[in-house]
Every structure is written in C-alpha cells, then in structure tokens.
Amino acid sequence: MANNKKQFFLVRWFKRMFLGHDQEVRDLLKEEQVQTPFKMMAKNFFHKRTVQVGLTVFILIFLFVTVGPVFFPLDLSDQDSTLINLPPGYSMMKLPAAINGKVADIAPGNTYGIGLDTDGHVHTWGVTRITDKIDLKDIPEEVQNADLVRLAAGSDHAVALDANGQLYVWGNTRLSQNKYSSDMTKHMKNAAKGKTSEEWDIIQLEASNQFSAALSSDGTLYLWGNGNMADIKIRSKYQGKVAKVALTNNEYICLLKDGTVAYAGYKDKGSPFSNIPKDLKKETIVDIAATSSTVAAVTEDGRVYVWGNAVKGENKIPELASPISKLYGGRFHYTALLEDGSVVSWGNNKYHQTEVPASLQGKEIASLYVGNFQNYAVTTDGEVHSWGLKGFLMGTDELGRDMLTRVINGGRVTMTVGAIAVIIATIIGVLMGGLAGYFGGKTDILIMRISEIVGGLPFIPFSMILSAVIGSRLDSNQKMYLIMVVLGVLSWVPTCRLVRAQILAQREMEYVTAAKAMGIKVMTIVFRHILPNVLSILLVSMTLDFATCMLTESTLSYLGFGIPLPQPTWGNLLNGANNSVVIQQYWWRWVFPAVVFGLCTICINMIGDGLRDAVDPKSAER
C-alpha cells in the first residue's frame, strides 16, 4: 500500500515537472470561464490594432476641437490685411546666425525683419514674399555693395540709407514707393556732389504703408510714395521746424523743435490725429510715436497722451516705474524704454507683443526696435531679445485669420452639428422603428411608406433648396441649428429600418412572451425590454451615421449652402479649394482642414467597424 502511494506521488511530480499537467488544467479552466457579453464585446473591440489606432486618433482630434477653443478663442470680426495668406512657420523673429552679436540696425516690418550687421551686410528673415514675383529677400546688388547706415521697413517695401546720403528702395515699387519727391531728389544729388553739410544729414528714416519719410538734421521733412493712399505732403510753414516724425498707416504727425506737436499734412480737417488733446497743447513734448491708428506723445514731466482711434487698448497706459526715455509704436501696441533701463509694452496683446521677456531684467539696453507685431531689444553685450508674433502653425487665410484657430473652432461646429443630427435621427428612427416592428400590420405599413417617401428624397439637392429658401433670412448661428434639424429629420430612415428588423426578431422571444403574460405595458416591453437587446447594433449605426452627418454638413458648407462664413466649419474652410490659385499657392488653406477632417471621419468609421465586429458573434469564432 505504501509503495502504491509513493508511486502515485512520484508520477504526479513527474507530470508537474516535465509535462506541465497542472498548468494545462489551469489554462483549460481559464479558457472555459463564462464571460459576460459586455466583456466579450470589449475584448473583441480592443483586440484589433486598427480600432486602437482609430480610437486614439479620434480622442486626440476630439480633445483638439473641444479643449482647443479655450486656448484659441474665435473672434468672428477678426481680420488683418497685413497678415494675409501667410505660410505656416515660426520664422518671423528668427534672426540669421550671421547677425547675432553684430547688430548695427534692425527694421521690423509686418511679417519680416531686415537687419544690418556691423560689417555692413544686409540680412532678412521671416515671411518676406510680397507677391508671386516680389520678395524682399532679393536684395539688389547695389544695396549690398553700398555703405549702409540705416534701414526702414514698410508694409511692402524696404528703404536703406548709405553714408553718402543716398536712398535705396526695393520690394514693391509699383505704387511710387521708389519715386522720391523733387526736394528729396535734389537733396540726394547735392549729397552725391558733396554739396551738403552735416546740418542736412538724414537723422531719421521711416517707412509705412506704401509711403516713406526721411528727416534731415535741419528740420526738413521729405515724404514720398503712394499719394493716393497716404497724405504725403507737408505744409511749408512746418519745414525746417520738425524734430521727429511718426507715421501711421496713411498719415503722419510731427514733433516740432519748440516742443509742440502738429499735423503737418493737408488732410488735417478730416484726420483724427489733428484733434490734439487740449491739455497736451500746454505741455512740452519730448517724444512721439504712432501705431497704425493712434498717436502718442510723451511730455517733459513723463506723462503720456494717446489720441486717435484707440480700438485695441493703445490708450490703456500702465503705471510706469520711471519716466519714458524713448517711445516706439507697433501696429496696435506701444513699447517704451524707461530711464531706469527697463522696458514696458502696452496695447493689443493678441500675439504676445506686450509681454516683455523676463530675460531682459537686469540687462542694459543699447537699442530697441519695434515693428507691427515684433519687438527686438539689443543689449550692450550684443544679445538680441525678441517678443511678439513668431508666426502661425497652419498659416493664415485670405483675411489674415489664423488657420489653426479656425480649424479648431470649425471642427467643434462640424462635430456638434453631426452629433446633434445623429441624436435627432436616432430618436425619430428608434421611435418609428420600434412601433413599426412591435405592432406590425397597418402601423408597420404606414410607417414604412412614410420612411420610403423620406428616403426617396434626393438628400443633398433637397437640403440645398431648403437651406437656400429658409436660410437666407437667418444668421450663421440660426442656420447652424437649421442644418442640425434638417440633417436629423432627413436621416432617420436607416435607423428606423434597422430597429424595426431587430424588434421583429426579438418580439417572438420567450422573455417578451413572459413580459406579456405578466401584464407589462406595451411601450414598456418595447423600450425597456426589447430595445436594450438591440442597443449594441444601434450604437454601431449611430457611430457610422455620425461620420455621415459630418460629411453631409461639410458637403453643404463646401457648396455654399451650409453654415455661412465667417462662422468656420471644416466644410466651408475647404471652400477655398475651388480656386486654382489657392490650390497652387496657398495650399495650407485647404490641406490642413482636409487632413484633420479626413482623419476624423476615417477614425470614426474604423471605430464603427470595430464595434460592428465586436457585437457580431461570428467574429469571436476561432
């Protein structure tokens, strides 16, 4: 007996060590465990790699369009003519390595910068292309060979001054940007012959929107450029008295040698800059600056006055730690160098142009350069610190609006329209399909005939007609609600047929018979007992319909019958692809919306296919 027992344990040990018998038993029991339908569905769903990828990408896009508007808020009135059709990139303040530590002068423009190094070489950076054929980086050879001392950057042209008093203009010169006034031409001829003195040297060079200005040391102001666009004339009574000039978009104002300011042009009656504050007329002015639509003056006692069209907060002057030593103007902001060596900016901060970097604290500023949206501070040790607009990740559109902001907010609108439309279609489809499938007979025939009529309508043409007739009297938000309702009301037929077919199969089951025997109400049987059993299939249908509704809304918006501009959607953002010029030259205006929209719909369909396979019992077969 003892030998038999010993032999039994020996065999068991042998199987455990060499055959893994116990492990095989455990694996078999684990394999035969009973799993709930939800666990099996989840296992089948997440088992596929394509589903995992689709779900991950969709979640990222969903967060992109739902959380994104918090960081990229949409302003429907936002537009800027100086930022039109800019390509993607962050190069607007990226100085070339050759100029770092060797800055002699910087002229910031709208979206570009021009720099002069201590060796006399000219450098450009940022978005320098003005038109298809004009690029500011194509610096003329005569400019490169000249002994330059000063630069100025305008909206579409650049101006340079050499040591001999000669001016050079390049860029867009089609609108008289390079046609100097007669007195400026005479001045340069005298300078070339050596007939000028130090009293006539150019001490200030400025450029603005298609016009430029030069100020000589004797107080003479020279203006030239597009006279149809700007007031480029000066009253003779001010000549010889100008100490500094400040240019706005289309006008200018002068600081006179007697410490007063004056609008020296001929359009003073209709100009907002001619209305100089009364209190300012009693003060002695030491410095002036201008933005595109305002003018600022600094008084002898350190006070700052701003007048004009201050629509971007240019007149909201912060508390200053010390008096202003030098004042500069951008497009909608001011930057000042204070007497204590610190720098302060105020005004519009949309592109962070008023956020002075902390790295400037404790640094001694040698020079400050301010453009439309950029600021450059050069320290005494040659370091360049910049802040402001670096660029746009997805570029800008035809009105200068950030494409990233519009893609994010457009995606939120498109997804919202698709989701609400699916909810409306599902509610109608479940209600109609449930009644038709359970009751059958005349109810079934009536509902099915109605569904055939609705399903037989040409969907896109009908939606276009309805949108054109009703939507012409609605604003963009109201039309968005109309599109939701139209899509929902016209998209319930497939859901109705699906629910009807499933309920026809389920109503003959034993649990339905038991519920009838217990006296449960008909509507409770349909929507509390039968419907949950077809919910998984309904979920698949809703997922696929979501992508379909998004595509339909985008199709309507693309064709111009959906949600109108300026409210962005992925559909109307693609509307620019109708233009061959946009397709060839401004690819970012349609590529980025198309890529994001395409990825989103593909991922939704991948998720829907995964759900369909997960709820299908055949997919679990080995």
pLDDT tens profile 314-350: 999 999 889 999 999 999 999 999 998 899 999 999 9
DSSP string, 412-442: HHHHHHHHHHHHHHHHHHHHHHHHHHHH-HH
Note the CATH number of domain 50-69+401-620. 1.10.3720.10
pLDDT tens profile 89-130: 999 999 998 888 889 999 999 999 999 999 889 999 999 999
Pick from 574, 592, 566, 576: nearest CA to 75: 566
Classified by CATH at the fold level, domain 241-363 comes out as Methylamine Dehydrogenase; Chain H (2.130.10)
Q: Give yes or no for a contact between 95 and 115, defined as CB atoms under 8 angstroms apart.
A: yes
Neighbours of 258 (CB within 10 A): 10
- Cα separation values, 577 from 287, 404, 502, 554, 572, Å: 49, 17, 43, 13, 10
Tell me whether domains 50-69+401-620 and 241-363 share a fold. no
pLDDT reported for residue 304: 93
> Is residue 266 classed as helix, strand or coil in its secondary structure?
coil
- Cα separation values, 75 from 72, 79, 434, Å: 9, 9, 45
Note the CATH number of domain 94-230. 2.130.10.30
Q: Is the dihedral of CA 580, 582, 583, 589 positive or negative?
A: negative
Q: Categorise residue 346: left if φ over 0, alpha if ψ from -120 to 50, beta otherwise.
A: beta
Q: Is the pLDDT of residue 573 over 80?
A: yes
Residues 6+ apart with CB under 8 A from 404: 72, 392, 393, 394, 592
* Predicted TM-score of the model (pTM): 0.84
Angle, CA 8 vertex, CA 4 and CA 9 arms, to 5°: 125
Q: What amino acid occupies position 406? A: R
476-490 and 535-559 are packed helices; what angle lies between their axes, rounded to 10 degrees?
130
> Is residue 590 classed as helix, strand or coil in its secondary structure?
helix
CA separation for the pair 86, 67 (Å, rounded): 25
Residue extents of the structural domains in the chain: 50-69+401-620, 94-230, 241-363
**Please, what is the average pLDDT of the chain?**
85
User: What's the distance, CA 230 to chain centroid?
Assistant: 31
Residues 6+ apart with CB under 8 A from 58: 600, 603, 604, 607
Range ranked top by mean pLDDT from 77-81, 207-211, 466-470, 578-582: 207-211
Q: Give yes or no for a contact between 61 and 600, defined as CB atoms under 8 angstroms apart.
A: yes
Q: What are phi and psi of 345, to 5 degrees?
A: -130, 150
CA separation for the pair 494, 596 (Å, rounded): 27
The secondary element (H helix, E strand) that includes residue 542 is helix 535-559
pLDDT reported for residue 620: 46
pLDDT tens profile 446-505: 999 998 888 887 777 877 777 777 766 777 778 888 888 888 888 888 889 888 888 887
CA atoms in the 13 A half-sphere facing the CB of 382: 9
Q: To the nearest whole percent, how much of the chain has pLDDT over 90?
A: 46
pLDDT tens profile 395-452: 999 999 999 999 999 999 999 999 999 999 999 998 898 888 878 888 889 999 998 8
Q: Give yes or no for a contact between 207 and 185, defined as CB atoms under 8 angstroms apart.
A: no
Query: Where do we find the tokens 């200030």?
Result: 204
CA separation for the pair 402, 404 (Å, rounded): 6
pLDDT tens profile 241-255: 999 999 999 999 999
